[in-house]
Structures are given as C-alpha cells and as structure tokens.
A and B are shown apart, each in its own frame.
Chain A
Amino acid sequence: MNEDLRKKIEKLTLAQNLDRAKFDELSQKADSLLAKKKEIQNKISKKPDEPKPKLTLDEQIKEAKDRVFADINKKTDEELEKIRKEQEEADKKAAEEKESGKNKKEWREEDLTKARTEYAEEFKKFMAERKKKAGFFKKIGRKFFGSKVKEEELTEELKKLEGEYNKNIVAFGNKMFADKKSELEKSGATKEAIELQLERFKKTDIFNKVIIEEQKELNALKAENLPPKERNVLQKAVHWYFSPSKSQDTKQQIGKRIAKTAISIAVTAPIIYAITPAAIAAAGGFASYLAIRGVRAGLSIAATQLGRSGFEKIFKKEKIEEKRKAEEKVLAEKYSLGEKELSLDQLQAYKKEHAKILETEQKRKRNRLIHKSLVSLGFGGITSLSLTEIAHNLTPEQVLAGEVPQGTKVTIPHEDIQSKIPVEKTVENPNVPKEEIINKTGQGQTEIKITEDNSHVAPIQVNPEGAEGNTHIAPKQIKPDWAEENTESSSPIQTNSEEPQAPIENTGENPQATIPPKLENSSLEGNETPATEGQAEGREIPETHQNETTVKIKNENNSGTYTEEEYKLKPNEKIITPTEKTSETPTYTEEEYKLKTEGQAQPENINTPGQTNTYTEEEYKIKTGEQPKVSTNQHMTTENETGSTYTEEEYRVKNAEQYSQTEQAPATEVENQGAGTYSEKEYGISDKKIPNTQENIKSEEIQTEKTGVAQTQTEQTGTTQAAEPEKPETDMTPAETQTQQTGAPYEHKLDATGHPVEKFITEGENPYELSNEQMTEINDLYTEKMNKMFPEEKMWNWERIQNYKGMAHSILNLEKVTDEYSPLKKLLQEIHDKTGLKPVPETGLDSGTSPKEYIMKGLQYARKNNIKIKF
C-alpha cells in the first residue's frame, strides 16, 4: 500500500473521531508539513530534476549538518590560521627586537641615578607621611612590632617610581651583560665557554653591581630620611659591622671580626629557614644559633654522631696513605723504577710527579685534620667558630675530594722518595756520611747512593757540562729553634738576623772550592740530607722533600754542630764555642782548634797549588754548615789571618760536621779577606740553614728547613761579593743594605702625602714582573715561613684568617693580639714598615686585603725592591 494513501486513511479514520473543525486544522498542518518537506527536499537536492540516490530523511539532515559544520570549521580554521600567523609574526618580530636590543631599555647612568633618586625621595615622603598619619595605637604598635610596609600601603606614584627604578637596574644589568658578551665574542672563545663565562659574570659582577651596590646606594638615600639620632646610630652600626674590634680582650679580637661575617650568614639564613626567637634564645644568640644550626646540619651525620673517634673510623688515615702508596706505585711503574736507571731528565720528571703526590697527600691529611677539628667543635666549643669557616672547610665532600681552600699551607712530611729512585746501597766506610750523592758529571747522569738510614733527597743541581760545572753536596738543612725567627733568607726578604754575619768575602776570582770525594772518619749523627747544588747553567733537580724531616744532630758538646755565635765570628777573632753565652763552654783559639783536629783523617788532594781555598774557621763553619758551594776533587784549606789553616776534613772531623760531598766537580774557591760579608746567595748557598747555637738546640731532634727557598744571610757591614758566577738580582749593594737596616723603604715611589704608593695585588698576580724563579722563591718562602709560624697544631689559627678580606688591616690596627697571632702581626708590621704597603680595610665598597694577599704582596714588593723582610 502506498504510504501516502495509508496515511490518508489513517487520517480519515482519525477524523471520524474528531470534530470537523479540528480535522480541518490538522489537515492543513499536515499539508503544510508535507509542503515544507518537499521544499526542503528540493533545497537539499542540487539537481532536483535529476534522479538521485534515495536518501532517508535522517541521512539528508545529517548531510546538511555536515555541510554547514564544514563551512563553520573552514571558517574557524581560517581564523585560527590567521591568528597563528599573526602570532608568529609578532613572536618573530619580538625575537628580532630582543636580539637587536630594541626591546630593552637603553641604559644610561644618569637615568639610573635619576630613577634611584626619585624613588628614594618618594619613599622618604611616603614614610614620612605614613608616620605622620599613623594614629597613636598604630605608632605604639610599630614601636613594639616593627613597621613593615605592606604592599597595599604603597602609593601608585611610589609603585610607579619603583618600577621605573627597577627597569633602569635591569637595563644596567643587561648593558653589562651585552658588553661582556660582545667582549667575549670578540675574543674568539667557543660558544660554550662564552656561555659559561657570561653565567659567572652575571652571578658575580652583575649581581654585585645591580643588586648589592644598588641596594647600598638606595639604603644610603633612604637613611637620609631617618632622624639624626637614628641616622647616627645606623652609621655607627654599619661602621661596627665593617670595622675590626678594638676591644682589649685580645683573645676575642680576631674571633670577633670573624664572627661579624657570621652575622651576614645569620641575616641571610632566613631566606631558607624561619628562625624562631625561642630557638635563638636557647642557642644564646644569633651567631651561636646559626653556627650550631649550620654545624648540626652541615656536618656529616656520621661525623657528628660518632664524634672525633668515630670520624677516625670513617676517614681512616690509612686510606689517605694507601691512596698515596697506590699513586706512588703507578708512578714507579710509569718510570720503571728498579728496572732501569733513569736519565737525569727522567729523574727530574719523576721527582716532580712524586712531589705532587706527596703534596696531594698532605692536602688530604690537612683537610682531614680540619674536618676532625670541626667535628670536635660540633660537640663542644662551637660558638667561637665562624659559620663562614664552617661553610668553607667543613664539607666532607671537600675533604674526601682533597680540595683545599685557597692559600692552604702544605707541609709535606718526608716520604721515602729514595726508595723509588734507583739507588746503590753501598757504604764504603761505615763512618762515611750516610748519604752520598755522586754526580757523574760529564755523563749527564746522576747516581744516588743512599744508605739505609737515608731518607731524603736534597736539591740536586747537575752541570751537564761536566768538568766545567760544579756539583755541590750540601749538608742537610738544619734549622734550630732560634732560626724560626732569626733565620736567613736568600733574597732581600730576610729573616730576623740582627747580628752581623761572619765577615767573609769572596774573591770572586775563582769561586770554586772542592771537597774531597771521600771523607773518612767524619761522623754523622742521625740522618743527614745532603744537597747537591750546581751552577746556574746546570740543570736543577727540584727538591722533592718539601717536607718536614726530623734529623738528629749531635749536640755540640758531643760532636760539633755550630752555634750562631760561631757563625758571627770574624776571622781574626778568637773562636768561641757555641755555648759561650752560657759561660760554660770552653773557648778555643784557632790554634787550639787546629790542635784539636790533629790525628784526624786528612783529606785527599789537599792544598793543590793555585786552587787552595783559605777560610777562617767561621767561614768554614758557615760553609760547611750551610750547604756551601764546594765540590769534590778540589782542595781547600781553612786559614785564618793568623796563618792557621784547616782542611775541610780537619774541620769536619774536629767538629763531627755533617755533610756530604760530590765527586769530580770543579771547585769553588772562597777566600776570606777579613772584611767582606756575604749573603747566603753570595756565598752560593740558596737554601740551607744556619747552624745552631748550642743553647738553642734543646733536643737532639730538630726539624730541617724545607729547601727550595732561596734565602739570604744579609750582612750588616762590609762589602759583598758574589761567589757564584751568576749573582742573583736580589743581592744588594752595601748602601742598599745599610738603607734597609735602618728600616727605610728602598726606592719607594711616594704619593703626595709622602707615603709609598700602594699597589694592591691579589694572590697569584705578579705586578712587579718578577721572574718565575723569583716568584717560586717567594711562594716557597711564604709557605715555609707560614708553616713555621703556624705549625700543624696551630694551622687552624691561620686557616681561619688567611683569606679574610680586610683582615690584614684589622690585625695591623689591633693594639695587641693573642700569642698565636703575635708573630703574624709582627710580620705584617714588618712588611708595612719596610715596604710602606698599606692593606685595604674592608668597607662597604671594598672587600679589603687578606693577610695572605698582604704578605704575598709584601714579599713580592720586597723582592723586587731589594727590601729585607725579617721573619
């Protein structure tokens, strides 16, 4: 049945049940709907007259919807695409502008100054207004609870000015950044290197300028608004913060200054932590609070829990030593030690590398010591400890990594270097010195013979020219206690030897002297470290025992070490035994002295004509006691003005002198003329010790001085002539010496006030253009002296201040310091008085000069200008 027909029938059926009116109405609606349906169908169909596949109504509607939505989607996509393109163009433009700096505010100093001033002025106005408007209760509240300015309180004008000020700051920072970037790019550095440097530059220089300095400027302006009284107190408080303590309580003087730095940490700590008043009160103050907090958190848990003993268990000393041994083993394998003989170059390289290993070991030990100390402090006396120190020195990571803070002194104990060097353990005579270094000159090799007791390798200088060069074996450096303060210096940087030195003068004609190749019957007590020393043109093997070596020296009463007094004797004076000061020591004339040597073994090849060296006894004492530049196979006699002559052997035997010798080396002739005086350098002694005074050798064990530090025994009177062909530039003329003895600076440039022109340097710089050797000499001297001044048990005292900016000035201005810092203060004062250099105090604008910087600078300046610095 036709669908339409059926529907009509239904309608008719339905109509029968409806009234006529109703029927007509519905019928019309139905017709209307049908008509609309047809209309829609016609509209949907593009070609209504063409036959089309039949679609249901739903399909047709869906199709219509899709068509409509397709249009919408299309339009939407087009809009989106348009927006996207616009955004991309905007981004591209912004990027281009950023790159070219167009989007950055061009910085001008006057703009920044203006913005800062305007902001500060507005702030002051705001604060004044705020204070004025505050009611009674608000004022009371502020009195008790502070006056924090809330964000909502700020005026629009103030916000605007603050924003403008910040923009200028940012512009300033960006300018610095751009300038630096440009500079780096011009340098040709790699992109990565540039990025790294820029990062660091931003965090240090820019941060300091843009944040720190600006804050200080701003604070200064804001402070102008304070009432006079408050402003005055604020100024005093800031001054207090940056100035050293003037308290007479010497025990705390240094600590106070350091503790102030801890305050800086205290006030920055809240960035991280919320500090409760209760916690502070319980800790007894901010400094201690922060210190405790820092230590408790900073120390490794194991260390703090276990304490010092526990620490030992964790960081066993053996581990460090084992590490060193392992490194030595690797090094030995590298050089095939024990398998073949090393050439001189190889030996030199080996010793350098080994020295590094030893140094590293000491750093590790030192850090371990620091860590141990701080662990102890964590249990007890923490309050006196600067948090800064903790922050720098405490970290277990640093200790384990062997990192050492800048300026760390290193004292390297003796290590059995010789065991790694091909040695021939031959002792031809049991009485012969226990260590012999035989220079096979002319063959370019050095063979070292070491007896079992030997444990040191002293500097070896070998002249590859063979017979023309000298190889010297000097006695081991022996430094008595008194030499700590009155020791020698090869450079004008001189130790505190006030008394005249032996007036020995070198003829300079043939500065060669020899020591017989073998010395029989000479006695040596304990370990002696001979050193060989060559001429300037000879190659030098660096000393590998930058270490502390304990050497037993026979007491004068028993054997014959020399006293300072002997050292100071003039050739024509009566020889006085070292113990003269005590009035118990017998004195000898030279004749007596000579007689005393009778029957002793005589050297070979004595008094070779034309090469005879004459010495006064004092000269000889100096010579033999201070690593003289004498060699073997030549002849030398000791002769005073009265005609008494001594061979070296006589002298050695008589005094049971300790020394070593070389073979086949040219001689240095040193002739005393009874008038001149010598510096050690002049005498060809660069790194040796002055013999002890009897009274000062309290023990049979004394520590040898670290070698490698050229030192000078500068005399006070007489002429000076160099015994060495190559005279160091630091040698001074008598006039210079005299000038220096008066304490007056030598060749200082003076400023308008008559003070020497200061040139501040930082560590590692070489503003005076010293040679590498001179710099090394100074560095070694510095290390040596500071190690003496602050031995291991006092090392911490130095560590805590050596790099403290402004501390040099502080110490110099303290009226009195504690005993442990007294030598340091004297040294700083000496440098100050002699060089005229003034340490920069720490201020808000300058970080100041640290003690280490000041000392290094002073030593360099003194070296350059031939100024003697006494230690």
Chain B
Amino acid sequence: MNPIKNNIANVLNIDNLPEADQEKILADIGSVIFQNVLMRVLEKMSEKDQNSFEKLLDQNGTPEEIFNFLNSKTKNLSEIIEEEAIKFKDSATNIMSQIG
C-alpha cells in the first residue's frame, strides 16, 4: 500500500478495510479538509486575488494550477493544510473513540 495512504489508514484505523472503502474514506476526508483549507485561505486573499482565483475556477483550471495559485497567494499554504489535516484527524479520532 502506498505509504501515505497506509499511514492515514493507520492513523484513522481504517487500514484493515477493503481498498474500496479506504479509497472512499480518503476521498471524503480530502474533500472536507480541502474545504476547510479554502475557507482559511480565502480569508487571506485580497479581493483582486479572489477575483483571479474565481476566474481560474471558472476556466476549470487544472489541480496544479489551482494549487500553484493558492500557494503563490498564501505564504504558508502547506502549514494551513497541515494544521487543518491534523485538526481533522484529532477531532475525528476523539469522536470515533467514544463510539461503540
């Protein structure tokens, strides 16, 4: 298994699930974190940058274009991503540990 995925699976204790389930969970987690990141990043953007970003979205830019843009407009994008990811993980772990 891919080490990234493997570790995420371990962290979230989903490593013994079928690949398809892991895939879905991973994609879902990604979508949530992506939204959280965007909410923080957008707050930092100037209106001009927001317009540029909006235009890029309207043009259906590639993922690389989107992330490169965000990275160029946010000096600590990676930190934000990391923070949001860890926040999600902690929250999810805390809640899930109380279930069952």
Q: Tell me the A residues contacting B by CB distance below 8 Å.
A: 142-148, 166, 169-170, 173-174, 177, 198, 200, 202-204, 206-208, 210-212, 215-216, 219, 222-223, 226, 229-230, 232-234, 236-243, 245-247, 252, 256, 259-277, 280-281, 284-288, 290, 293-294, 297-298, 383, 387-388, 390-392, 394-395, 397, 405-406, 803, 805, 844, 847
Contact = CB atoms under 8 A, between A and B. Distances in A.
Nearest to B65: A285
Given A211-B95, A240-B66, A271-B89, A391 B5 contact: yes
A262 B86 contact: no
Interface string B83-100: 111101101101110111
A464 to B, nearest CB: 43
B99 A233 contact: no
B1 A198 contact: no
Contact of A234 (B25, B42, B61, B95): B42
A294 B5 CA distance: 9
Contacts of A405: 19
A263 B54 CA distance: 18
27 contacts: A169-B95, A170-B99, A177-B100, A200-B21, A202-B99, A203-B13, A212-B28, A215-B88, A219-B32, A234-B35, A237-B66, A239-B57, A240-B61, A240-B66, A245-B62, A260-B63, A263-B34, A265-B26, A268-B8, A269-B4, A270-B78, A271-B8, A271-B89, A274-B82, A275-B82, A277-B77, A298-B1
A147 B82 contact: no
Given A211-B92, A277-B78, A286-B71, 4 more contacts: A233-B53, A262-B63, A263-B34, A294-B2
A241 B23 contact: no
Given A263-B67, A284-B64, A212 B3 contact: no
A285 B53 contact: no
A268 B2 contact: no
B30 A391 contact: no
A240 B60 contact: yes
Contacts of B28: 208, 212, 264
Interface residues of B, number: 78
A202 B85 contact: no
Contacts, number: 266
Contacts of A232: 54
A170 B99 CA distance: 6
A142 B44 contact: yes
A170 B98 contact: yes
Contact of A272 (B8, B81, B88, B99): B8
B80 A272 contact: no
Contact of B38 (A237, A268, A290): A237
Most buried by A among B23, B24, B31, B95: B31
Contacts of B36: 215, 219
Contact of A271 (B20, B43, B61, B86): B86
A810 B32 CA distance: 21
B28 to A, nearest CB: 4
B7 A271 contact: yes
Given A241-B31, A272-B7, A198 B40 contact: no
A387 B1 CA distance: 11
Interface string B42-70: 11111100100110011111111011100
A60 B13 CA distance: 66
Given A174-B99, A246-B60, A392 B19 contact: yes
Nearest to A803: B20
A205 to B, nearest CB: 10
Given A170-B99, A219-B32, A275 B78 contact: yes
Interface SS of chain A: helix
Contact of B4 (A173, A198, A219, A297): A297
B17 A203 contact: yes
Contact of A148 (B2, B20, B53, B83): B83
B21 A204 contact: yes
Nearest to A262: B63
A387 B2 contact: yes
A654 B71 CA distance: 74
B4 A273 contact: yes
Interface of B: 1-5, 7-8, 11-14, 17, 19-21, 23-47, 50, 53-54, 57-64, 66-68, 71, 74-86, 88-89, 91-92, 94-96, 98-100
Most buried by B among A286, A803, A844: A286
B11 A272 contact: yes
B39 A267 contact: no
A267 B2 contact: no
Contacts of A242: 31
Contacts of B35: 216, 219, 234, 238
Contact of A147 (B40, B60, B84): B40
A260 B35 CA distance: 13
A198 B100 CA distance: 9
B64 A229 contact: no
Contact of B39 (A174, A226, A266): A226
B95 to A, nearest CB: 6
Contacts of A847: 24, 27
A241 B35 CA distance: 10
Nearest to A205: B21
Closest 4 CB pairs of A and B: A264-B30, A270-B82, A173-B99, A391-B2
Contacts of A203: 12-14, 17, 21, 25
B4 A265 contact: yes
A764 to B, nearest CB: 12
Nearest to A204: B21
Contact of A223 (B4, B39, B53): B39
A146 B23 contact: no
A266 B58 CA distance: 22
Nearest to B13: A203
B69 to A, nearest CB: 10
A268 B99 CA distance: 23
A268 B30 contact: yes
Given A144-B75, A226-B39, A265-B26, A211 B67 contact: no
A803 to B, nearest CB: 8
Contact of A264 (B7, B26, B47, B92): B26
Most buried by A among B53, B78, B80: B78
Nearest to B10: A272
A237 B40 contact: no
B42 A226 contact: yes
A268 B29 contact: yes
Contacts of B78: 270, 274-277, 280
A277 B75 CA distance: 9
B40 to A, nearest CB: 6
A142 B29 contact: no
A146 B89 contact: no
A212 B57 CA distance: 24
A204 B100 CA distance: 13
Given A146-B79, A148-B83, A277-B78, A388 B13 contact: no
Contacts of A288: 64
B100 A264 contact: no
Given A238-B35, A260-B63, A264-B34, A207 B25 contact: yes
A233 B54 contact: yes
